[in-house]
């Protein structure tokens, strides 16, 4: 693995039967770096994220990750227990559909506190104080702490997901279309919040989006996918201002509807 890298993906391929989900995807990710994965519908973005999160095993390829103690581990060689601990402490996953990322029948405080309890915190007062702190940080009125996410708006649910994930101070957060389906003004506020937290906490982020404006606002680097393959990659501003691939040029000129 490259000196200082946090994560390294090599030759990641996921086949659905004969069908290509993603093929031969390789990249490095450094601490604090935000990588956007863009591409039209069906290009393999979600597939890649599912493989990276170890929710799906790749058909081929490997992912290495630098643990907090500095040791480099191959994700798919970790036993399930260690992998799950890693996922709920050092990683986060913000889902497009908040109902999949939250416990909808558990209060906001319980949602935020869950990871703390999972890693063994057993002091109600401290767990609640952390939950309050995180609700405030994601701009949810602390008075709503005992309300269930079913009573929250779409934007609030996404912010609650963020709080729930960040409470254990992960170093890497995966996001799948976190702002899609939200009103433009709600989107803008959420993006501002994410950008602030990423900078403040030095988070590494892999964000899937088909909205190039989101990629432009949040990411340092960008990976353009088509038919499951990475066709162009580089610094976000360079790729968006001066795309080399004809497909990327079409994407940027908004000729292709994402």
Partner 1 sequence: MSAETTIETAGAPRGAADAATGYNFAYLDEQTKRMIRRAILKGIAIPGYQVPFASREMPMPYGWGTGGVQVTASVIGPDDVLKVIDQGSDDTTNAVSIRKFFARTAGVATTTHTAEATMIQTRHRIPEAPLREGQILVYQVPIPEPLRLLEPRETETRTLHALAEYGVMHVKLYEDIAQHGHIAKTYDYPVEVNGRYVMAPSPTPKFDNPKMEMSPALQLFGAGREQRIYAVPPYTRVRSLDFEDHPFTIQRFAEPCALCAATGVYLDEVVLDDRGGRMFVCSDSDHCEERRAAGHRGTMLAGAAGTENDHA
Q: Which positions touch partner 1 (CB under 8 A)?
A: 80-81, 84, 103, 106-107, 109-110, 113-115, 117-119, 122-125, 127-128, 145-146
By beta carbon distance, the residue nearest Mg ion is: 46
Shortest distance (Å) from residue 36 CB to ligand ATP = 13
3-state secondary structure the chain: CCCCCCEEEEEEEEEECCEEEEEEEEEEECCCCEEEEECCCCCCHHHHHHHHCCCCCCCEEEEEEECCCCCEEEHHHCCHHHHHHHHHHCEEEECCCHHHHCCCCCCHHHHHHHHHHHCCCCCHHHHHHHHHHHHHHCCCCHHHCCCCHHHCCHHHHHHHHHHHHHCCCCCEEEEECCCCCCCHHHHHHHHHHHHHHHHHHCCEEEEECCCHHHHHHHCCEEEEEECCEEEEEEEHHHHHHCCCCHHHHHHHCCCCCC
Which residue, 78 or 256, has its beta carbon nearer to ligand ATP? 256
The interface partner of residue 107, options being partner 1, Mg ion, ligand ATP, none and the CB cut-off 5 to 8 Å by kind, is partner 1
Which residue, 180 or 249, has its beta carbon nearer to Mg ion? 180
Shortest distance (Å) from residue 15 CB to ligand ATP = 9
Residue of 203, 246, 202, 242 lying closest to 222 (CA atoms): 242
Which residue, 50 or 168, has its beta carbon nearer to ligand ATP? 50
Site of interaction with ligand ATP (CB under 6 A): 16, 19, 21, 39, 41-47, 210
Shortest distance (Å) from residue 144 CB to partner 1 = 12
Which residue, 167 or 208, has its beta carbon nearer to Mg ion? 208
Q: How many residues bind Mg ion (CB under 5 A)?
A: 1
Shortest distance (Å) from residue 177 CB to Mg ion = 7
Which residue, 84 or 244, has its beta carbon nearer to partner 1? 84
Which residue, 19 or 122, has its beta carbon nearer to ligand ATP? 19
Shortest distance (Å) from residue 91 CB to ligand ATP = 19
Tokens (6 digits) for 224 = 């353009």
If binding is defined by CB under 5 A, does position 46 make contact with Mg ion?
yes
């Amino acid at each position: 693995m490259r000196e200082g890298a946090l994560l390294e993906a090599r030759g990641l391929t996921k086949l659905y039967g004969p069908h290509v989900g993603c093929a031969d995807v390789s990249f490095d990710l450094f601490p604090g770096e935000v990588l956007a994965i863009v591409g039209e519908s069906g290009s393999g973005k979600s597939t890649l994220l599912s493989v990276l999160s170890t929710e799906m095993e790749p058909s081929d390829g490997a992912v290495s990750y630098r643990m907090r103690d500095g040791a480099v581990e191959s994700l798919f060689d970790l036993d399930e227990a260690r992998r799950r601990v890693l996922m709920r402490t050092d990683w986060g996953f913000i889902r497009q559909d908040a109902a999949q990322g939250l416990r909808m029948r558990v209060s906001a405080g319980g949602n935020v506190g869950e990871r703390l309890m999972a890693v063994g915190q057993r002091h109600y007062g401290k767990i609640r104080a952390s939950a309050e702190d995180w609700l405030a940080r994601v701009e949810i009125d602390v008075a709503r702490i005992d309300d269930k996410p079913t009573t929250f708006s779409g934007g609030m649910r996404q912010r609650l997901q963020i709080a729930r994930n960040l409470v254990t101070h992960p170093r890497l957060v995966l996001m799948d279309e976190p702002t899609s389906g939200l009103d433009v003004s709600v989107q803008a506020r959420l993006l501002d919040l994410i950008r602030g937290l990423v900078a403040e906490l030095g988070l590494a982020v892999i964000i899937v989006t088909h909205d190039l404006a989101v990629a432009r606002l949040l990411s340092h680097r960008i990976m353009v996918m088509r038919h499951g393959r990475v066709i162009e990659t580089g610094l976000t501003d360079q790729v968006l201002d001066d795309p080399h691939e004809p497909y990327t040029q079409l994407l940027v000129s908004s000729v292709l509807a994402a």
